A and B are shown apart, each in its own frame.
Chain A
Amino acid sequence: MNFIERFKKLVLYLLLTLGAAFIVLPFIWMLSTAFKPPQEVLSLKPHLIPAHPTLDNFITVFTKAPFGRFILNSTIIAVLSTISIVLTSSLGGFVFAKYRFIGRNFLFWTLISTIMIPPQVFVFPLYLFMRDLGLVDTYLGILAPSLIMGFGLFLMRQTISTIPDELLDSARIDGCSEFRIYWNIIVPVIKNAMGALGIYAFITSWGYLLWPLIITNSEELFTVPLGLAVFQKRFTVEYGPMMAACTIATLPLFLAFAIFRRRIVESFVLSGLKG
């Protein structure tokens, strides 16, 4: 019995490890290639550990394409998008959770129904709007669709409804303005949910490709994913520099994951089950 149990456990670990290897292998392959000189990259018997490791590929990435600029652009856009989504969602969630007014439910669910419009669909007509507003090829243009998130509003209202009204009433008696109530009372209570939403917003924004692809023309405005796509066109067969670029594109997320792993997983769970 004990033997069988142990054997089962061994098989289980073996399967899990094999699966995990399949998950991690592409990343290891990426890292390995990124540090290889060209003749090693195109080898019929590749080694995972480069025989003559080199940084040339990374130098190529930064000299042949303004990858530093792409990273800066992605960071600026992801940070602004995160701030905007967290603020608009929590402020809106507060209003829809804690105030009574005519048409509240209708107004709320109309906004929430936008969750049904996939980004891959609304970006096409949005492009026409942005063009008419003269926002093609501008930071604001790239940022615009990521300023809001229907799911965020939903999540925030859910979270804020659990806060007891008495807390707000006592603040009102003390003469707090409505915005002060939001800022001094609501925000500290929902900090965790805001953090989760922020993480999710940042990671999705960092990954967008389709919209930047549509809205930008000039290289100075490219984000990292767009830079990767264009880079690939230019270096079709040079996988060394390309994997170096991918390493740079994924590195910030690896670092964030190493530090905030539990919170990142939680924020994704939340978005899946509610969004």
Chain B
Amino acid sequence: MGKVNRTLFVFSVVFFLYFLFGILRLAPILQMFRISFYDFDLIGLRKEFIGFRNYIELFHDTNFHIALRNTLLVVAISVPTTVILAFILALFYNTKLRLRSFYQLIYFIPAIMPTAAVSLIWRWMYDPGYGLLNYVLSWFGIRPVPWLVDERIALYSVIILWVWKWVGYYAILFLVGLQNIPEMYKDAAKVDGANWWQSLRYVTLPLLKPVTLFVLIIASTWAFRIFVPVYILTLGSQGAPGNAVRVIVYDMYENYFVYDRVGYACAEGFVLFLIVALFTFLQLKLTRGSEAEGGT
């Protein structure tokens, strides 16, 4: 009797989970893969198998090139900046400074705030005429910067927002890593006459490698997926820089809902999925690896 109940319980839970994950995650991604080989629209008038043509076209599509380039720029600039700043912050957090937990909390606030809201706030900060940022810069004699209007600057404005949002979060992740380093290593370095820099370079950094890798991977996967700041910062504004901040998800969104090229957008999505999946896979692999060694 108990055995039957147990089997039934296990079966129903697993079935239920597969039902939900199947409809909401697994089927959509398979469907996306399938549609990426079709010329497909939203109403269903066009539905023609075209093989790899969407993918081939992607390679020649200027908009996609721009989107890919911008996304890579966001990753290449925001990730190192955020990670280095976060690491320095974490070193501060890990000292015996009074108020350190107060600073931890302050720097953490942007991470929990809705991206749409903070993007809107930054849009107002960046306002060329009345924004706070240009006003503060004017104290130092700096002329107004056209943050979101100038296409050479717009992407950096997005990146500043992104760094601002995540630096406090990654700092906490680093702090957890720092606290996991046994004191005896540092003491040993001290006994051997290592100065602060040597101790950091030869003891702390090598021991922090797993955490650093995690943070790098999380930061990159999130940066690859950036959408909301771009959407909000450029939405509906006259003379918006447009292509200057086009990122992959934004380009997908436009192809899908504005140009009604569903198959094409799906091919694009699948490329992004592969990039992000690769990074996430590495992260999972590392998490499992370090657990086998006895702890993160």
A interface with B by C-beta (< 8 Å):
9, 12-13, 16, 19-20, 22-27, 29-30, 33, 41-46, 88, 91-92, 94-95, 99, 101, 107, 110-112, 114-122, 124-126, 128-129, 144-145, 147-148, 150, 153, 172, 177-179, 203, 206-207, 209-210, 214, 224-226, 228-229, 232-233, 236, 239, 242-243, 245-246, 249-250, 253-254, 257, 261, 264-265, 268-269, 272-274
B interface with A by C-beta (< 8 Å):
2, 5-7, 9-10, 13-14, 16-18, 20-21, 23-29, 31-32, 35, 89, 92, 95, 97, 99, 103-118, 120-125, 127, 129-130, 132, 135, 164, 168-169, 172-173, 176, 214-215, 218, 221, 224-225, 227-228, 231-232, 235-237, 249, 252-253, 256-257, 262, 265-266, 269-270, 272-273, 276-277, 280-281, 284, 287, 296
Specify which of B116, B218, B262, B266 is in contact with A228 (CB 8 Å cutoff).
B116
| Interface residues of B, dominant DSSP | helix
Are A19 and B236 interface neighbours, CB within 8 A? Answer: no
Residues from chain B with Cβ under 8 Å of A253 in the complex? 112-114
Given A16-B103, A23-B110, A95-B13; A273-B214 close (CB under 8 Å)? yes
Residues from chain B with Cβ under 8 Å of A250 in the complex? 113-114, 117-118
Are B115 and A209 interface neighbours, CB within 8 A? Answer: yes
Are B276 and A116 interface neighbours, CB within 8 A? Answer: yes
Are B236 and A232 interface neighbours, CB within 8 A? Answer: yes
Are A239 and B127 interface neighbours, CB within 8 A? Answer: yes
Report how far A269 CA is from B127 CA in the complex, Å: 34
Q: Within the complex, what minimum Cβ distance (angstroms) separates A205 from chain B?
A: 10
Are B132 and A116 interface neighbours, CB within 8 A? Answer: no
Are B173 and A272 interface neighbours, CB within 8 A? Answer: yes
Q: In the complex, which residue of chain B has the Cβ closest to the Cβ of A272?
A: B173
Report how far A126 CA is from B106 CA in the complex, Å: 37
Q: Within the complex, what minimum Cβ distance (angstroms) separates B71 from chain A?
A: 11
Residues from chain A with Cβ under 8 Å of B118 in the complex? 26, 250
| Interface residues of A, dominant DSSP | helix
Report how far A13 CA is from B95 CA in the complex, Å: 12
Report how far A128 CA is from B26 CA in the complex, Å: 14
| In the complex, the 7 A-B pairs of residues with the closest C-beta atoms, listed nearest first | A225-B116, A178-B9, A207-B114, A125-B28, A114-B25, A125-B32, A116-B277
Are A124 and B121 interface neighbours, CB within 8 A? Answer: no
22 sampled A-B residue pairs with Cβ under 8 A: A19-B107, A44-B135, A45-B135, A111-B18, A111-B21, A118-B225, A124-B256, A145-B24, A148-B17, A148-B20, A210-B249, A225-B115, A225-B116, A228-B117, A232-B120, A232-B232, A246-B120, A250-B118, A265-B108, A269-B173, A272-B173, A272-B215
